[in-house]
Amino acid sequence: MASVAATGGHDVQRTAYSIIVAASFCHMLNDIMQSLLTSLYPLLKANYALDFVQIGLLTFAFQVTASLLQPAVGVVTDRWPMPFSLPAAMLSTCAGLLTLAYAHEFYVLIIGACLIGIGSAIFHPEASRVARLASGGRHGFAQSLFQVGGNTGTAIGPLLAAFIVIPRGQTSLSAFTVIALVGFAVLSWVSVWYTRHRRSTAGRAPASRALPLPRNKVLMTLVVLVVLTATKNAYLASLSSYFTFFTIEKFGVSVQDAQLLLFLFLGASAAGVFLGGPIGDRFGARIVIWFSILGVIPFALLLPYANLFWTSVLVVLIGFIFSSAFSAIVVFAQELVPGRVGLIAGMFFGFAFGFGGIGAAVLGVFADREGIEFVYRICSYLPLLGLLTILLPRLPGHR
């Protein structure tokens, strides 16, 4: 647990590792359930005779539901914190899984995807806030540890889909409600800590909301960060949503082998997220953003033209380098607009999901018309927009 003491007029707070680990663990459980949706696309495509446009619409329904609600949830909880919204979010995700397990029509799949999106919208802003409250000032470390839980869950999801759901059928999704119940229990405990933390700090002056830079420069920097996030997630959507189809079509691998290749990418992404935060605490978030956004460009340009071996190597490099930026972007934005942790977390987590959903839907149209390999050639140029990183300013008091 965190303890707070007054020293020289400043608040000193120890890092509450158990709370950060619990939030990260539940992020893993949440994203395991969420990633099952995209991992099941080949099965759903066969079961319901879906085309790529409908596959894109499923991703759109999930991610845009989360995108539209997350900033709103962040604004509301910045003003009126709701600790017990966290276990409620897990129940929504659980309901979405059950809906997907027993869906009989395409529109029911859409409803299930939306329920999972609602769970995501409620979970991410408040869980990100809890991680920051428990950080003891190590914001990059806390945010990366929290985020790596999600990336780990996203990486595990395809393995569970490949070895459990695909062999046993769509209805086996209902077994994963056990994961939701575990998450519900842990998040209930986290919510109790969150409530006690708020009570223990109720008499303290609220954090300053003074902007560190002129208002116009803050707005311009936020726009740049949003564009970088949009670019990153549109590209990652092309990998997470269609990579299995790409490897099956181009290299003739089996569905299970394609899922294993997807696991390589998602596992590397989790490692990149984990290291990005502590490096940002040491050298500054701006440095991490520079390395991540610009360092991935040559590998992304090579990917569409690589053979199977080099494809597996390149997706690991791309996942590791590109994903290291996300924690740094969130921390940079939270320091740029102090006192708005929920809004920033909701905006960037939500925008990440939302733009990925829009990108997936658009890419589905191109995949149907021009072929999946054409999509990957086009997407290879998206990271070039990362050159906008040059516009990011230095924050006062930072290295």
The winner for highest mean pLDDT among 96-105, 226-235, 282-291, 382-391 is: 96-105
Q: What's the rounded Cα separation, in Å, for the pair 49 and 145?
A: 39
**Amino acid 209: pLDDT:** 64
Once rounded to an integer, what is the mean pLDDT over residues 181-209? 81
pLDDT above 80 for 270? no
Q: What integer pLDDT is reported at residue 273 of this predicted model?
A: 77
Helices in 284-389 by DSSP H: which ranges?
285-295, 297-302, 308-323, 325-336, 341-370, 372-379
Is 282's pLDDT higher than 90?
no
Report the candidate in 273, 274, 267, 122 with the shortest Cα–Cα distance to residue 184: 122
Q: What is the mean pLDDT of the chain?
A: 81
Structure confidence at residue 187 as a pLDDT band (50, 70, 90):
very high
Q: Which fold has domain 16-199+210-391?
A: Growth Hormone; Chain: A; (1.20.1250)
pTM assigned to the model: 0.68
For residue 77, the model assigns a pLDDT of 81
**248-257 CB contacts, 8 Å cutoff, 24+ apart:** 248/42, 249/371, 249/372, 249/373, 250/372, 250/373, 251/308, 251/311, 253/308, 255/42, 255/162, 255/166, 256/162, 256/163, 256/166
Least confident range from 49-58, 198-207, 209-218, 390-399: namely: 198-207
Predicted local distance difference test score (pLDDT) of residue 207: 60
**Per-domain residue ranges of the chain:** 16-199+210-391
CA separation for the pair 70, 346 (Å, rounded): 4
Question: Cα(242)–Cα(255) distance, rounded to whole angstroms?
Answer: 12
d(CA 211, CA 236): 32
pLDDT exceeds cutoff 90 at 26: yes
Name 11's bridge partners: 6
Residue 46 has pLDDT above 50, yes or no: yes
pLDDT of 6 reads 35
Query: Higher confidence at residue 91 or residue 376?
Result: 91
Provide the token pair at 104: 């009989």
**Comparing C-alpha atoms, which of 165, 160, 158, 169 is closest to residue 47?**
169
Q: What is the mean pLDDT of residues 388-397?
A: 78
Mean pLDDT computed over 303-307: 90
The residue-averaged pLDDT of 337-366 equals 73
Give the residue, 383 or 350, on which the prediction is more confident.
Answer: 383
pLDDT surpasses 50 at 5: no
Range 368-389 average pLDDT:
83
**pLDDT tens by residue, 341-350:** 777 777 777 7
CA distance 328 to 323: 10
Distances in Å between the Cα of 67 and the Cα atoms of 2, 96, 375 are 32, 17, 24
How far is it, in rounded angstroms, from Cα 388 to Cα 228? 8
Separation of alpha carbons 41 and 100, rounded Å: 12
Six token digits for residue 84: 């017990």
% of the chain exceeding 90 in pLDDT? 16
Give me the pLDDT at residue 204, please. Answer: 62
- Average pLDDT of the segment spanning 124-135: 85
Is the confidence at residue 388, as pLDDT, over 50?
Answer: yes
State the sign of the Cα–Cα–Cα–Cα dihedral 260, 154, 306, 274.
negative
Q: Which among 5, 26, 28, 3 is positioned nearest to 16, based on CA atoms?
A: 3
Share of the chain above pLDDT 70, in %: 90
At residue 394, φ and ψ (nearest 5 deg) are -85, 135
Let me know: does 317 contact 268? Beta carbons within 8 Å: yes
Evaluate whether 327 touches 140 at the Cβ level (below 8 Å). Answer: yes
Would you place residue 352 in the very low, low, confident or very high pLDDT band (cuts 50, 70, 90)? low
